[in-house]
Structures are given as C-alpha cells and as structure tokens.
Structure 1
Amino acid sequence: MSTFRAMGALLARRAFMGYVLVLSLVSAALFTYISGSSFVLENLHGVSSTMYSLIFATNAVGMLISGSVFSRLVQRGVRLNTLLMAGVCVAALGALAQVLLVVTIGETLGGTWATLFVTVGGIGLVFPAVMSIGQTLGRGAPGAASAVLGGLQFLCGALAFPLVGLFGEDSSLPMALIMLIAMAAAGVALGSLARPWRGEGEPS
C-alpha cells in the first residue's frame, strides 16, 4: 500500500504529472509511427520489406544519434528542460511537416522518410530528458516514480497503436495527424503543467 500512496502523492504534484503526460503523449506518437509506418511505406509507397527494414533502421539510428547528442550536451551543462523543449519542438515540427506535405504535395516516399526521421530524432531527445527529470522529482520514492513513468508511457502507447487502422488505408494522413495531435498535446502539457522554465527536476 505504501507504494500506491507514493504513486498517488507523485501524481498529485503538478510538475511531475506534467512530465508524465509529456512522456506518455510522445510515446503515443512513437507507437503510432511504429504501427503505421509499415503500412504507409510498403502499401502506399510500394517499398519492399527489405527496404522498409532499412528505412526503419535508419530512423532508429537517428534516434540513437539524438540520445548521444543529448548525453554530450548534458555533460557540457545544457539544462535538461532546455533539451526537452527542443526535442518536443523538433518532433512536433516533423509531424507538422508530414501533414503539410501530404495535404499540399501528396504522398512522396522521400518526404515521408525525411519527416519521420526528424520526428523520431526529436523523440530521441525527449525520452532521456523526461526520464531523468521524472526520476529527480520522484527521488523520494524512485520505485513509484519509475512505475508511474513507465506504466503510463506504455498505456498511452498501447492505446495509440490501433488508431491508424481505424481511419482508412488509402492515405498516410491519419498516421501523420495522430502523431501531430499527440505532439501538440505533449506541448500543451509541457507548457501548462511541467512549466520547464521553472527548472524543476534539474540535477543539483
């Protein structure tokens, strides 16, 4: 029961809940990409399964590069909240660019690949930043903090996973819109609840 009380106390903290929502909503965008990208790239753009694997791997490498850049910048004294805001903005701009490309130009393989790469790269900055901040804010109950961060992250991801298929299979726009909405909501949670300019969760 003490663990559940600790989790409840953490969820009652405005800043902690804000960061949890940011992580959860960004995870929803990532799971939307994972569930929808194979359909978009293989069915709409006609790439082979081998080519799709290459594209997916390239985007994954982009995410790893973002994580490496995050580590180097933190070592140089850049604030976690600054990197978090940058990651949310980059990922949101990538999702917005994907929507605009589909609406204005139409379905293009190069455009889809490039915008997904940018979005996933931004997400690569968000995850380590939020996890570090969340663990710092929840340092009094690290197990409860980890459970809340991880549990809600995967819950939102699981809820987003089937959404792409519910809105038709003749366009990549549903995937792009769901990712954009999730990233926009993450931005709202970041600004209204987490309020990163206050610097909460920064290491001492």
Structure 2
Amino acid sequence: MKEQFSKFYKFKLIIILAFMSSLAPLATDMYLPALGEVQKSFATNSFLTQLSLASFFIAFSLGQLAYGPLSDVYGRKKPLYGGILLFILSSIACISIDSIYTFIFFRFTQALGGCVGVVIAIAIVNDKFNVKEAAGIFALMMVVSSLAPMLAPTFGGIFLDYFSWKAIFSVLFGLGILLFLMIMFGLDESAKIDKTLNLSPKSVWQNYKFILKDRRFRIYVFSAGFALAAMFAYITGSPFVFIEHFGLSQKEYGIVFGINALGFTIFANINAKLVQKLSPYQILPYAFLSMLCLAILLTIAGFMGLGFICIEIFIFLTVGSLGFIVPNTTTLAMARFKQKSGSASAILGTSEFAIAGIISFIVGAFKANHPFSLAIIMVTCVLIACTIYLSLNKKRFLSGKNSSLTQFCR
C-alpha cells in the first residue's frame, strides 16, 4: 500500500524529478544550435561534430547500468550527488579544451554524470506511487521536463548571438549546481534498501538477468526504445535539415525545435488526463499505430520534396506522439519490479538510450541531413517499435481470440 501525499508535496516532487530528468537532455538541446559553430571552432567535419552527440547518448545509456544497482544498495540520494558532481566538472572541462576528440570525451563524461537524474527519478516514482498514480506522475513529469527541450534551443540560439558556444556550458555548470542544492534540501530518501543486495558483478548480473527474463518488460522497453530512437534521429539531423537545407537561422531553428517539443508537451498533458479514465493498455496500441502512420506521411513528404511547412507539421505530430507512448510504457515496465526499482529503471534507460545512440551514429555516418533520408531512418525506427509492441499477444491475435486492438495488446 503506497503512502498518500499532499498536492503540494506532489507538485514539489514533480518539479525536482523533472529537473533531474531534464539536466542531461538540456546538455544536448541547448547545444544543438551550436553544432555548426563547434564544427568551425575545432576546424573539423560534420561526422565528428555529430559524434559528440552520439557519444553523449551512448554514455547516457551505459551510466544508468551503474546507478541503478548503486541506488538499490545505497539509496537514491548518494548516487545522485556523485553523478551531478561529475556533470558539473565535465561542463567546466568542455569550456577549457581545444581538441574535438577531448571535447567528445568530456561530452561522454558529462552524460555519464547527468544520466543519474533520469534513472533515479523513475525509480523514485516507482518507490512512492501505485500504477495508476505513477502513470499520471510520469506524464506530468514529462510535461514539465519537456519545457527544457522546448526552450533550450531557443536560449542556445540567443546565447550564440552574443557569446561563443562555450557560454552554453557555463549555463549547464550553473544548472548542475542548482540541481545539486535542490536534491540536498528538497528531496527525501525513498528507497527501501534491501540489505541482501550487494554490488558484486555476479550479484548485479543475476539481478539484471532476472529482470530481463520478463517478456512483457522487454517488450515495453524495446518498443519504447525504438520509438524514442526516431526522436533522437530527428534531434541529431534536425540542425542540418532546418539550418542548411531549409536555410533557417540559428534563432529560427531554436524556435522550430521548441515548437516540436511543445507537441510532446501537449500530447503528454492529454495523456495525463486520459490515464485517469483509461488504462495505459488501452492507449498504447493506438498511440504506436498513429505514430507509424504519421512517420509514413513524413517520409512521403520528404520523398516528394514538399516544403518546410509540410515537413514541419509531420515532424511535430510524429515527435508529439511520444507523449502517449513514453509515460505509459515506462509505467507498465516499472510496475513489474516494485522491489528492484533502481535496477529496472537502469535497464529501461540503458536500453532506450543505447538504441538512441546507435541511431544518432547512423544519422551522422550516413549523413542523413536531408528531409527524406532523415525520414527514412525515423519511419524505420517506428516500424520496428510497432512490430515489437504488437508482438505482445501475437498468439492470441493469430488464433482470432480477443480480436479488438485494445484486448490484443493487453
């Protein structure tokens, strides 16, 4: 039986957890308008510049594997302090280097520290709330945390009008310190520490193996992972598509990126209201199929060479669809492991962002900087996501039982 919390407590918790979840994404989104400037500053090529994004995503996923078990053994707050401190130090280091390879390394360590907020925020919600409440809390967290990607590129573009790209990392340094203080004074310990757990490699592996044996957990995680990969493909390729292909200025690109993030905010907010009446099981199949249809329309628009407005509308709707998918898959996956919240959250985050990192690398390696080539990668990711999710009850479907879409995906 979960505790009852006041509205003020929930509000405060959502703000802190959303900030925790947003810090590392901010380190990407504020930096996006500066990709061209970074490329010029280091006198390098677009592949190495985009590699600074891909390395960030990969570290963001791998780091969570460490923080999950650490938070189950030592509680949620101690790993948070260590991770945020690493983020702060790496942000300062990014300002003082003069080599693209060193910059890529510190972007890696910055993500390694920043990812702690994501994995532990999810674990804290799972610690404190039941399934129905958790679905609403996750959705509201994402509404608040999506303000970061909505505003960050705009601020990044404004900074570039007056300062060099290194000023962005000074801001990230300050945000890291602010979050450190908020965690210290505003967050209580939520973990029910199991003293039988230990951090030996064998024990950690056995714990992860136990979680990964759960088929439904795997389906929720990997279907969401490939859906998110479509968004990260867009994030990696969008500066080149909008600025170089469509000729937008850095400031205009920041506004467009913010509008697309607003789509996610709107749909996540609608989802937060829907889960009060409908279960996540009822929402998800329609959300996945809608995202696939929209991604196909985006691909057709790219192939036909339609203009900026048409491409932007389909990107807005495709990315926005994740507002229905991510909160609900997260809730259903985490609900299966209430006693191992940290480890389950680590696997969830690692899997999702490892896929995102690989897709970001592919976007850079294949120079998918044209609307059609970018759309091809995005629609492929969404198609894989739908295939995985709709395999949930494929035997039932093939036998003709429970033929309605909602029943089929329960």
TM-score (norm 2): 0.46
Structure 1 position 121 matched with structure 2 position 328:
no
- In structure 1, the residue matched to 2:358 is 159
- Residues 194/175 of structure 1: CA separation in 2 closer, same or farther (3 Å cut): farther
Matches within 5 A, 1:1-204: 1-75=202-276, 77-103=277-303, 105-168=304-367, 171-193=370-392, 197=407
2: CA distance, partners of 1:32 / 1:188: 19
Aligned equivalents of 1:198 and 1:95: distance in 2?
A: 23
Deviation at 1:199, TM superposition (A): 6.5
- Per-residue deviation at 1:132? 0.4
One-letter amino acid matched to 2:390:
G
Cα deviation digits, residues 12-67 of structure 1 (max 9, x gap): 12111111111211121111010011111111111111111111001111101111
- Structure with more relative contact order (C-alpha pairs < 8 Å, separation 6 or more): 1
SS for the counterpart of 1:141 is helix
- CA 1:94–1:74: 2 relative to 1, 3 Å: same
* SS of residue in 2 equivalent to 1:106: coil
Secondary structure at the aligned position of 1:137 is classed as: coil
User: What is the CA–CA distance in structure 2 between the aligned matches of 1:73 and 1:188, rounded to whole Å?
Assistant: 24
Point out the more displaced range, 65-74 or 137-146.
Answer: 137-146
> Are the counterparts in 2 of residues 95 and 180 from structure 1 also a CA contact under 8 Å?
yes
Q: Give 1:168 shift.
A: 4.0
Aligned counterpart, 2:190: none
In structure 1, the gaps of 5 or more residues are none
* C-alpha separation in 2, matches of 1:135 and 1:171: 37
Residues 125-182 of structure 1: per-residue CA shift (max 9 Å, x gap) = 1110111011112224222211110111111111111222333466321210111000
Question: What residue identity is the alignment partner of 1:144?
Answer: S
* 1:90–1:118 contact (8 Å) kept in structure 2: no
Q: Distance in 1 between matches of 2:271 and 2:224?
A: 16
Q: Shift in Å at residue 108 of structure 1?
A: 1.2
- Matched-pair contact (CA < 8 Å) for 1:14–1:194: no
Moved over 4 A (4+): none
1:191/1:170 Cα in 2 relative to 1: closer, same or farther (>3 Å)?
A: closer
Distance (Å, rounded) in 1 between the aligned partners of 2:388 and 2:313 = 27
Paired AA for residue 90 in structure 1: S
Identity of aligned residues (%): 26
Question: How many residue pairs are counted as aligned between the two chains?
Answer: 198
Are the counterparts in 2 of residues 4 and 144 from structure 1 also a CA contact under 8 Å? Answer: no
Q: Which digits, 9 at most, give the CA deviation of each residue in 1:77-106, with x for residues without a partner?
A: 211022222222222222111111122x31
- Code of the residue aligned with 2:242 in structure 1: it is L
Q: Secondary structure at 2:247's aligned position in 1?
A: coil
Aligned partners of 1:14 and 1:170: how far apart in 2? 36
Q: Mark the runs of 5 or more structure 2 residues left unpaired by the alignment.
A: 1-201, 395-405
Judge conservation of contact 1:26–1:183 (CA < 8 Å) in 2: yes
> Quick check: 1:17–1:193 contact (8 Å CA) kept in 2?
no
Contact 2:302 2:372 in 1 (8 A): yes
Alpha carbons of structure 1 residues 146 and 168: separation in structure 2 relative to 1, 3 Å: closer
The answer to whether the 8 A contact 2:228-2:352 is kept is yes
